Amino acid sequence: MKTTSKPTALVTGGSRGIGAATSRALAARGHRVAVNYFSNREAADQVVKQIETEGGEAFAVQADVYDPRQAAELLERSAADGRLDVLVCNAGARFTPTPLPSLSWDDFNAKVTNELASVYTLTQRALAVMGAQGGGRIVYVSSAMADGPPTVGMAAHGTAKAALNTFARFVAYEAGPLGINVNVVAPGYVRTEASAGLPAEIQQRLAERTPLGRVAEPEDVAGAIAMLVGAEAGFVTGSVVTVDGGHGVGRP
C-alpha cells in the first residue's frame, strides 16, 4: 500500500447503493477510500474506477464483515500507514419482510445478531486505531424504521436497527474522550438496487407523503454521511440523523 497524505476512509458494503454513493462522496472530499465488498468484485472495481476517473483515490477490499477475523483484517488492510480517519458501517444484514406470526425465532435472532456483528469487531478495532492517533469519525447506517411507525413484516428489521442506534450511543459516550465522533444516519426509503422491487405505486405514495416531494436517492444519504465526517460537524456526536425528506414529520 503506497504512502498517502490523504485521510483514509473505510466504507463497508461500499460497492453498491448507499455504500457506493458514500465512497464517491468521500473521495470527492479528499479521502482515500477503501471500498469494501463481500462477493461482487466487479461492482467494487467499478466504484474505484469512477473515483479514479474523477481524480480521487480508492481501492477495493474484500471481506465478510460478519466474520470477526475477516473484519479485523479488513480494518488493518484499509488503514493506510496504520491510520484510519473515517469508518462508515453501511453493510447491514439482509432480511425478508415477514409478519410476526410467521417469523421464526432463528430468523429474528439472525437479523438482530448479524446487524450488530457487522459493526462490532470493526468498531473495536477502529477505536484502538483512532484512539492511538488522537481522533476519527464513525458513522453507522441505520433506518428510520427503528422509530416506527410499526409496519407489518418489519419487526426484525426495526428491532435490529433500534439495537444499532443504542449501541452507537454507548460507543459515542466511550469514544468521545478519545477524540472520536460517533453518529448514525437513519434513512427512510431509498431508491437502490436492493429496493428496486418495491412497486411504483407504493414509491409514488411515499413521495406524496414526503414534504420534500420525492423519495431518497443514495446520494442524499451519502451527503449526510459526508457532512457528519466533515470538520463542520466536529461537535456532533451520539446523534441519529434522519434522512427521509421529512416523511417522519407526519408520524403520530
pLDDT (tens digit, 9 = 90+) per residue, 151-184?
A: 899 999 999 999 999 999 999 999 999 999 999 9
- The domain defined by 8-246 folds into Rossmann fold (3.40.50)
Q: Is the pLDDT of residue 146 over 70?
A: yes
Q: What is the pLDDT of residue 204?
A: 82
Which of 22-26, 42-46, 139-143, 245-249 bottoms out in mean pLDDT, i.e. has the lowest? 245-249
Q: What is the pLDDT of residue 19?
A: 97
Nearest to 66, CA basis, from 160, 170, 174, 190: 160
Residue with cell 405514495: 205
Q: What is the pLDDT of residue 197?
A: 64
Cell numbers representing residue 148 in the block? 416506527
- DSSP for residue 64: -
Q: Is the pLDDT of residue 6 over 60?
A: yes
**For residue 91, which phi and psi values (nearest 5 degrees)?**
-70, 115
Residue 69 CB burial class (10 angstroms; 0-12, 13-18, ≥19): exposed
The 10s digit of each residue's pLDDT in 96-131 is 889 999 999 999 999 999 999 999 999 999 999 999
Question: What is the bridge-based pairing of β-strands 136-141 and 180-187?
Answer: parallel
Q: Is the pLDDT of residue 5 over 50?
A: yes
The 10s digit of each residue's pLDDT in 57-101 is 999 999 999 999 999 999 999 997 899 999 999 998 788 889 999
pTM attached to this predicted model: 0.93
Q: What is the pLDDT of residue 196?
A: 61
Q: Which residues contact 187 (CB under 8 A, 6 or more apart)?
A: 18, 141, 143, 144, 216, 220, 221, 242, 243, 244
The 10s digit of each residue's pLDDT in 183-241 is 999 998 887 776 666 677 777 888 888 888 888 899 999 999 999 999 999 999 999 99
Sequence ranges of the domains in the chain: 8-246
Q: What is the pLDDT of residue 209?
A: 83
Q: What is the pLDDT of residue 1?
A: 47
- DSSP for residue 216: B
- Rounded to an integer, what distance in angstroms lies between the CA atom of residue 152 and that of residue 163? 19
